Structure 1
Amino acid sequence: MDSRISARALTVLLGGWRTSEPAYEALADGIRLLVLDTRIAPRTALPAERELAAALGVSRTTIAAAYRSLRESGHIRSVRGSGSVTEPLGRPSSARTAVSDPGAIDLQQASPAAWPGLAGVLAEAAQAATGILGRPGFDVVGNEDLRRGIADRYTRAGLPTDPGEILVTNGAQSALHLLASTLVSRGDRVLMETPTYPHAADCFRAAGARLVSVPVTTAHGWDLDRAEQAFDRAVPTLAYLMPDFQNPTGRSMSEEEREVIERAAERAGTLVVVDETTADLDIDRAVAPRPFAPAGSGVSVVRVGSFGKTVWGGLRVGWIRATPDLIRRVVAARFAIELGTPEWEQLVARMLLPRFPEIIAQRAHLLRAGRDSAVRALGEALPEWAVPRVDGGVALWVDLDAPLSGALVMAARSRGLLLSAGPRFSVDGGYERQLRIPFTAAPDRLEQAIDILASVWPEVRAGSAPVMLERMDAVV
C-alpha cells in the first residue's frame, strides 16, 4: 500500500455522487470512476466504513454494500489490518466498468492517430540509423541539429531563439515533470486554469504545490478579474497556462486576455510556463494571435512543446524553451529522474521538422472533419446539450443539461465508449455538468460514440431523482 485517502478528501472528489438508486451502487460507481481516471491512485487505502458513512451522511450499511460491489468488480481488495485498498488499473473484470473489447471507442486520450507520412519517415530514419548506433543512444540535452531546428521555428514565429535555449525531453509530460521538480518547492503556489490538462495538475501537486485556480469558459474565456486577484494576492511562484486552444475548452486568449495576464504575471514576478502542445492545431481561426509574452514583454516565460499532438503520441519527443541558465538547472536535476532522450526518436524528429507545414495542414483537415462530424451528430442526437464552437484544438467541452457527467461516463463505459468525466479536469472541484468529447478520432467512430451517448443519456437522466439534481445544481 502506497497511500491513504481521508474520508473528507474522498467526499470532495466524489462531489455529487448520488445520481441514481440504489445509493450504494451510485457510490460504488463514483469511486470506480475515480479509480479509472486515476484521481485515486492504485494501492490507496480507502476510509473505514464508519468514517466514510459519517462524512457522506449515509448509513454504514450503504458504505459496506458499496465496498462489496467494488470488491466484486475487482476495483478494490480487502487487506487485513488495512481495510479496503484500490487495485492497479487493468485488474477489474466487471463488464459494467471495464472494457476489454478491442473494438471499444477510446476517447480518453484526445490524441489523433499518427500522421500518415510517419511510416515513410521511420523507414528513412532506419536507413540512416547506422550513424547513431556507435553512440550511447541517449542525450541529456538533445541533438544539436534538432535543437537548432526547434529554435529556428520559434525565431520564424517572432521569438528569436538560440539552440542553447532548447532542451529536448521525452515528450511534454516529461518536460512538465522536470520543470515542476526544478522550480517548485513544497508549499509554493502555482496558478492554473480550471478546467485544465489534468496531468499537468498532477505534476505540480506531486511537487508539493498549492494550486490557485483561474476559471476559463467556452463562452467567455479567462476570468480576468479572478486572474488579476490571484496574481496580486497569492503571488504565485509559477503559472501554467495554455493560451492557444486550451485543453479542454478549446478557447484561445484574446489580445486583451494576453495583455492583462502578462501584466499581472510581471507585477507578481511569476514565472509563466506556457504549454504550446496544442498551439499548432489551428483548424480555421481567421487570424493567429501574437505569441503570449513576446520578446521584450518583461514576463519571465518558459515554453513547452512536443510532437505528440501534431505527429503522433507514440513519438516521445518534446522540448523546453527557457534561458540558458534555467536549461542548465533542469539538466542538472534531470539525472535524478531520467538519463536523456533516445537518439533514435530525435533522429526521426529531425527528419520531420522540414515537413511541419505539410503535417500541420493534414492535421487541420483531419481535425476539421472530426469536429464538424461531432458537432453535427451532437446537434441532431442531443440538442439539449450546449456544444461550443471551437477554431482548433482537440476537443469539445460540452455543457450537459444536468450535472451527471460521472454517471454518464460510467453508463457509456458499459456500452464500449471510454471518456473522461468533467471533474477530471478540475483544479478545485465541479464540472459535473461538463463532458470533454475529443474530435481526434475518425468521423464514423465519433458518430458511433455520440450514438452511444444518446442511447444512455435518457437512462442516466431517468435514474436521477429530481431532488438529487436540484441539490447537485446548487453546488455546481
Structure 2
Amino acid sequence: MTGSVDQSTGVHELVRLLRAPSRHGGPRYAAMAARVQELLSTGALPVGTRLPAERELAEALGVSRVTVASAYRTLREEGYAQTRHGSGTVTELPRSPGAAWPLPADGEGFVNLAHTAPPASPHLLPACTRALELLPGVLQSSGYHHDGLPALRQAVADRFSARGLPTDPDQVLITAGVMDALGLVLGTLLHPGDRVLVEHPTYPGAVRLITDRGGLPVPVATDADQPDALVAAAHAAARQSAPRLAYLMPDLSNPTGLSLSAGGRRRLAATLWQQGTIAVVDEVTAGLDLDEPDRAPAPPYAAGVPDTATVTLGGLSKAVWGGLRIGWLRTDAALTARLADAYVQRQPSVGTLDQLTASFLVTDLDQVLADRRAELRRNRTALRELLAEHLPEWAVAPSAGGLSLWCRLPEGLSSAALTRAALGEGIRLAEGRAFGTGAAFDDHLRLPVVRPGAELREAIPVLARVARAVHGRGPAPSVRAV
C-alpha cells in the first residue's frame, strides 16, 4: 500500500523544490515535468508521493491549471507518475534502468576502467593448493552440499561472530557469488510491483536484478559530506513508499565509497525494521577501508536488530578474485532454510573445490584484506595524482576507501558521450547513468582503483584528451576501430 503526505505540506514542499534553480528550458509544463523527473531520479522527491491536486499546485505556483495538467500528463506518459483511483496522481519511476549493464568484459587492446574487479590475490594459489590436498578425502561423496560445505559455513559464521554478530552455521548459506545471493533473496522474497529502497547512486547490477524481478527501485539520495543523512532520508522514503526490501551497502558503498557510522547504521536498521522493511545488506566491500584500516571497524549492520530484519550478503570477489565464485548470505535460521530450499531448485550445489579453497581464505581473510588494501591504496594514490594533473576540473567525492572514485564532471560534459568517445580510444568506461535510476548521474563518472599505476598512467592522459574533445575544448580524438 502506498502512503501519502499531508496535502498542504506536500504543496509547499513541492513548490519549494520546483522553484529551485533549474537547467530545464522549453515550455513551462515540459520544464516542470523535467524538474519532477530530476527530483525523483535523485531521490529528492520520494517515489510514491501523492502529488497535489492540479488546481492547488497551479494556484501555489501562479501558473495556469492547464500547465500543471500538461506536466502531470507528461509524467504519466514517460513513466514517472500514475493516476490511482482514490489516491490521485502518485509518483513512480520508469521500470527500465537509465543505462546498459553489464558492460563488456576485458579485451585485448583495451584498458578496462568500467569494472571494479581487481586481479587475483596472491593468497589464492596457496589456498587452491591446500584445497587440492583435501580433495581426495571428499571424492567418495556425492559432491553436493545444498547449504554449503560445513567447513566453509563454519568459517563464515565464526567471522560474523568475531565481528560482533553471533552466528551459527545454520544461519549461513553458501552461494555462487554475492549477486547470486542477491538474486536468490529477490526471487524468494520480492513480488512483482514491490518497492525496494536503494541508495542513490548504487551498484547497477543490483538495480538490474531488482527490475528484472518486477521490483520498483525507490532511490534515496546519499550525501558525501554527511553519509548519515541517509538515515532520515530512508526513514521518510520507507514511510512514504512502504518498500518490501532495502538494498544497502553501509560499508564503503559502490560507487561513492561512503560508509555509515556505527550510530547511523544502528538507527537505520531500527527504522527499517520498525517500518517492516527487510534490509538486504551487501558487505562485499567491507574491510576495504584505505584511510584508517587499523581503526576498529563499525559493527555489522545486522548487529542491532533481530536476525529476521536483515539478510547480510558477502563474498570473495573483491578481496580475492571474481573468478572464485563464492558468496554467502546470513540471516535468521528459519529464513536461511527457506532460502536454501529455493536455492536447491536453481542449482544443487556450489563447486566443492571452490568451497574448499574459500574455507582457507575466509579463515585468513584479515591478512588477505590487509594485502588487498595495500594494493588498492597505491592505485588510488596514483589515480588521484593523475586526475589532479590531467583533469583538475573534475571533482572527486571524498571517501575512506572502497574500489573506486566517484567523480563529478564539469558542467556540460556528459558521461554517456564521454563513454562512447573513450571506447574509440581503447578505454572502457561505465557511464554515470548506470549507477542511478531514470536519467540521473550523467554528470558523474566512476573510476576504479583496481588497475595498477602503470596502466593508469597510460590511460588517464588519453581520457583527459577525449574529455576535452567531447567538452569542446580540444581537438577531436582519433578514430579507432573497435
User: Aligned residue for 1:390?
Assistant: 399
Letter in 2 for 1:386: A
Q: 1:88 to 1:268 in 2, by over 3 A?
A: closer
Q: Which of 234, 258, 269 is matched with 1:227 structurally?
A: 234
1:318, CA displacement in angstroms?
Answer: 0.5
Q: Call closer, same or farther: CA 1:100–1:233 in 2, change over 3 Å.
A: closer
Alpha-carbon distance in 1 for matches of 2:147, 2:123 = 27
How many Å separate the matches in 2 of 1:264 and 1:147?
A: 30
Superposed displacement of residue 297, structure 1? 6.3
The aligned runs of 1:72-471 (5 Å cut-off) are: 102-221=108-227, 222-285=229-292, 286-296=295-305, 300-402=309-411, 403-462=413-472
Q: Which amino acid aligns with 2:214?
A: G
What CA distance in whole angstroms lies between the structure 2 residues aligned with 1:257 and 1:186?
Answer: 31
Structure 1 position 298, deviation (Å): 8.2
Letter in 1 for 2:213: A
Q: Secondary structure at the match of 1:302?
A: strand
Preserved contact between residue 99 and residue 416 of structure 1 (Cα < 8 Å): no
Q: Distance in 1 between matches of 2:279 and 2:300?
A: 13
Check the 8 A contact 2:165/2:302 in 1, yes or no: no
Q: Cα 1:254–1:460, aligned 2, differ >3 Å: closer, same or farther?
A: same
Structure 2 residue matching 1:363: 3-state secondary structure:
helix
Structure 2 counterpart of 1:37: none
Do the aligned partners of 2:102 and 2:205 also contact (CA within 8 Å) in 1? no
- What's the offset of the Cα at 1:332? 1.6
**Amino acid across the alignment from 2:445:** L
Q: Secondary structure at the match of 1:448?
A: helix
Residue 156 (structure 1) shift: 0.5
Structure 1 gaps of 5+ residues are 1-15, 17-54, 57-86, 91-97, 465-476
The code of the aligned residue for 1:343 comes to T
SS of equivalent to 1:376: helix
The worse-fitting range, judged by mean Cα deviation, of 161-170 and 425-434 is 425-434
The CA RMSD over aligned residues, in Å, is: 2.5
Alpha-carbon spacing, 1:260–1:358, altered in 2? closer, same or farther (3 Å):
closer
Cα distance in 2 for residues equivalent to 1:406 and 1:156: 44
Report the alpha carbon displacement of residue 220 of structure 1 after superposing the two structures with TM: 3.3
Q: 1:378 to 1:243 in 2, by over 3 A?
A: same
Aligned residues, how many? 374
> Residue deviations 1:141-166, cap 9 Å, x none?
00111101100001010000000000
Give the Å deviation of 1:126.
Answer: 2.1
| TM-score calculated relative to the size of structure 1 | 0.74
Counterpart of 1:330, as a letter, is L
Question: Is the 1:232–1:264 contact (alpha carbons within 8 Å) kept by the matching residues of 2?
Answer: no
In structure 2, distance between residues paired with 1:108 and 1:201: 17
- Give secondary structure in 2 for the equivalent of 1:390: coil
1:201 to partner: Cα distance: 1.2
* Letter of the 1:203 counterpart: L
Of all paired residues, the percent bearing the same amino acid is: 35
Deviations 1:223-262 (A, max 9, x none): 4443121111112111110000000000001245324422
Deviation (angstroms), 1:99 = 10
Residue type at the aligned position of 1:216: T
* Aligned 8 A contact 1:213 1:428 in 2: no
